[in-house]
């Protein structure tokens, strides 16, 4: 397992780096058959230390854990426990995913854009200059473009990936209908699912 440990404006001791490598290495041996990559970043916010762990566990499977505590070791423990708790929840499915990675269908590659938000002051200036009203359409500026994968998954697999990665949403192609679907985390704590398959195909 390749593990990169870094700190944002803080110095990390060799003992802490060794502890991180040992702990994540043991976790990887327990759940995965293939080599993994992990990025562990420590920082400081106010009087607390923070730890952010990102693990690439096979094709398309990302695990993420965040921690915060009074010292760096405890912050790492907090973040690692978040990952371990999610792995325990999906133990069988994660293990099966690790062993079946080579047989999985390749995800679709699409473009993803980052848009710069339109500031209210800019809108007011444009309105005063051109005479346009706020109801008229405005366009955000594209500031970044990057490739993004749309994996072929069941709804259950999509929810698992959403939870393991700690994401707010996940776009995927449904294995049942072959249509684009979206799972997302609702404000009430439940998971929402948007199914774009035609209604007549799903109403039974």
pLDDT for 143-154, tens place per residue? 888 888 899 999
* pLDDT score of 93: 79
- CATH number among 3.30.499.10, 3.30.505.50, 3.10.20.600, 3.40.50.2300, domain 107-202: 3.30.505.50
In the chain, CATH 3.30.505.50 covers 107-202
Mean residue pLDDT of the chain comes to: 84
In the chain, CATH 3.30.160.100 covers 2-100
Structure tokens of 123?
A: 């809108």
- Please tell me which residue, 152 or 128, carries the higher pLDDT value: 152
Q: Which of 9, 23, 3 is nearest to 74 (CA)?
A: 23
For residue 203, is pLDDT > 50? no
pTM: 0.71
Do residues 109 and 171 touch, judged by C-beta distance below 8 A?
no
* Fold exhibited by the domain 2-100: Double Stranded RNA Binding Domain (3.30.160)
**Percent of the chain surpassing pLDDT 70:** 79
Q: Which of 178, 183, 182 is nearest to 152 (CA)?
A: 178
Average pLDDT over residues 89-112: 73
Distance of alpha carbon 100 from alpha carbon 67, whole angstroms: 31
Average pLDDT over residues 165-179: 93
For residue 138, is pLDDT > 80? no
CB-based burial, 6-26: b 16+ in 10 Å, e otherwise: ebeeeeeeeebbebbbebbee
For residue 119, is pLDDT > 60? yes
């Amino acid at each position: 397992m390749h593990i990169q440990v870094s700190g944002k404006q803080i110095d990390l001791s060799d003992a802490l780096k060794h502890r991180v490598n040992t702990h994540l290495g043991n976790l990887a041996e327990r759940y995965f058959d293939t080599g993994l990559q992990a990025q562990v970043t420590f920082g400081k916010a106010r009087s607390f230390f923070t730890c952010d762990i990102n693990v690439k566990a096979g094709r398309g499977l990302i695990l993420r854990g965040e921690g915060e505590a009074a010292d760096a070791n405890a912050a790492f423990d907090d973040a690692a426990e978040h990952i371990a708790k999610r792995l325990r929840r999906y133990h069988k499915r994660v293990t099966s995913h690790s062993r079946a990675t080579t047989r999985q269908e390749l995800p679709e590659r699409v473009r993803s854009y980052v848009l710069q938000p339109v500031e209210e002051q800019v809108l007011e200036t444009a309105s005063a200059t051109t005479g346009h009203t706020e109801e008229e359409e405005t366009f955000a500026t594209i500031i970044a473009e990057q490739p993004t994968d749309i994996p072929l998954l069941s709804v259950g697999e999509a929810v698992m990936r959403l939870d393991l990665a700690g994401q707010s949403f996940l776009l995927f192609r449904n294995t049942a209908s072959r249509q684009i679907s979206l799972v997302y985390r609702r404000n009430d704590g439940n998971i929402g699912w948007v199914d774009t398959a035609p209604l007549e195909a799903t109403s039974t």
